Structures are given as structure tokens and as C-alpha cells.
Amino acid sequence: MAELPEIFKLAGQMRDTLCGKTIQSITLLQEKCANIPPDEFQNRVTNARIMDIRNKGKWIITELHNGENILLSLGMGADVLYFNNEKKQADKYQVKVIFSDGSGYTIRFWWFGKYMLVSDDELASEPNIKDIGIDPFDERFTLDYFSSLMKGKKTQIKSFLMNQKNVSGIGNMYMHDILFKARLHPKKKISDMNDDEIKLLYTSITDVLNLSLEKGTFAYESDFFGKKGGYTMDYFLVGYKENQPCPVCGDTIVSIKTGSTTSYICPTCQKL
Ligand SMILES: [Zn+2]
């Protein structure tokens, strides 16, 4: 499942490739991924020029010159693939966008995704994105900001970080190693954490996500040009490494239930 590094990379590639292009047509084969009927979608974006593409947490927002915005959520994952000629087009897709220069992209959702159209006026109040918190690649995500966010909270640390309203972009996949590097049990209460632990958690978040980005993001996800990332399972420290030795102390890594998610932890390094 795509998390912040994958989304950040994809949004950047889309921005670099698509800005300035004019939409000629959009085909929506899965109507329930959209918020409006395909005809209306088509009418409101035809001949619109792409001004900017950016991510907000795990959403990708395409800003058009005519006051409209396309909101994309990959859901459980999706292949978003660019093409610059007829032959290279993917044949399986739910969404296809064609630009006036003949290039375009297709989206194939693995499960359910979202592809919505929202005007500038509605953007700030759009229910799916209005409460999304600042993500760790945002320059506003400083240690002071992160500390202030945690102040007075009694929540368990993992569920706090999974909540996209607090910090956006982190999902279950990178969480295991983030908490391991911070030596925190997923069920540790924020109110029981001291300043050093908060600081170590902050650097663990940025270290783990930055390493993935540096290695080209998760190896099972394709980028806008169909290229797989270089962040293979070898880079994971404890995530998905059940019954293997902890890289720090050698104790056996276990998986535990944490609410609706599974967590991989070292029981010695991450005591509750
Ligand atoms: Zn250990």
C-alpha cells in the first residue's frame, strides 16, 4: 500500500511531467470512484490546463487553471501510469486521461480508489481532505511542531500516528520500523513519553521515510513511468520479520495485534 514516500514521489513525477498540459478527455469506467457523473466530470475538465500537482497526505491534488481540482486517492494501491503514445497505454484501467498533445495516463486501482472533481470554492471544506494533518516531508513538520501536537495526548502512540488528522502519510507498513527505531511499544501512551522519546520518535519518522524515498520507495510499487522502487524487504528492520532476530539485540521479533492492525516488534527493545 502506498504511503507518504510513494505518494510524494508519484505526485512529484506527475507535476514534472504534466504541468502545462491541456486535458482533452477523461474516461471514467468505474463511476463509483468519482463524486460526480462521468459526463459532468468530462465537461468540467475538458480544455483545462494543469497548473500544479501536489500531495496532501496520501491524496494527490491536480490543480486546473479553470478553478477545478482533481483529487486522487490510491486507496489500497493503484498503478498510475504515464504514456506518451498509443502503444504504451495500459489496457486495464478504470480512469484514462488524454492530453491535447496525445500523451496521458491511466489508473488501475487494486481495490477501491477515489478520483474526484472539486472546485476551488469547495476544496477547503472537502470532507475527505479538510482535516488531513501536515505530513513529515512538509517543511512545517518540525520537532517543535511535532512535540506540540503530542502535548496532553493520552492516546496510544501507534493509533495516534495512524490517524491522518494528526500526522498524514504514515500507514502500517513504515510504522513497524519507525516505532522500533524509536524503541517504543505501539501501545505506549503518549502521556508516558518523555521529551527524549518524542525527539527520538521524530527523527525515526523522518529517517525511515527519507531512506525509502532515497532508495526509490517501496519495491512493490510502480512509479509514474512503471519503474519499481528500490526499497526492498531487506531494508526493513523488524517489519514483516516475524521469528527473525532483532538487528539490535538478537531477540526474536514477534507480531502482535494492535487494534485492527498487526504490529511487528522486538519484545526486548520495545517494552511497554
Ligand atoms: Zn531487540
Alpha carbon of 252 to ligand 1 centroid (Å) = 8
Residue 161 Cα, ligand 1 centroid: separation in angstroms? 22
CA 24 / ligand 1 centre spacing (Å):
55
Q: What is the pLDDT of residues 100-131, one digit of tens each?
A: 999 999 999 998 899 999 999 999 999 999 99
With a cut of 70, list the residues of the chain below it in pLDDT.
86-87
- To which H or E segment does residue 264 belong? strand 261-265
CATH 3.20.190.10 range(s) for the chain read: 4-123
Give the distance (Å) from ligand 1 centre to CA of residue 263: 14
The CA 266 to ligand 1 mean position distance, Å, reads: 5
Distance 234 CA to ligand 1 centre (A): 17
- Contacts of 14 by beta carbon, 8 Å cutoff, 6+ apart: 53, 60, 62, 80, 82, 105, 224
Radius of gyration of the chain (CA): 20
User: What kind of architecture, by CATH, is found in domain 143-265?
Assistant: Orthogonal Bundle (1.10)
Tell how far the Cα of 215 is from the centroid of ligand 1, in angstroms: 25
Percent of the chain at pLDDT > 70 equals: 99
Kindly report, as residue ranges, where domains of CATH 1.10.8.50 are found in the chain. 143-265
Q: How far is the CA of 181 from the centre of ligand 1 (A)?
A: 10
- In whole angstroms, give the CA distance from residue 9 to residue 216: 8
Residue 163 and residue 159: Cα distance in Å, rounded?
A: 6
pLDDT given at position 1: 77
Residue 264 CA to ligand 1 centre (angstroms): 11
Look up the CATH number of domain 4-123. Answer: 3.20.190.10
180 Cα–ligand 1 center, Å:
8
- CA 191–ligand 1 middle distance (angstroms): 24
pLDDT tens digits for range 188-229: 999 999 999 999 999 999 999 999 999 999 998 899 999 999
> According to the model, what pLDDT value does residue 50 have?
98
> How many beta carbons lie within 10 A of that of residue 9, not counting itself?
21
Bridge partners (DSSP) of residue 28 are 95
What is the pTM assigned to this prediction? 0.95
Q: How far is the CA of 269 from the centre of ligand 1 (A)?
A: 4
Instruction: Give the residue from 102, 77, 106 showing the smallest Cα distance to 90.
Output: 106
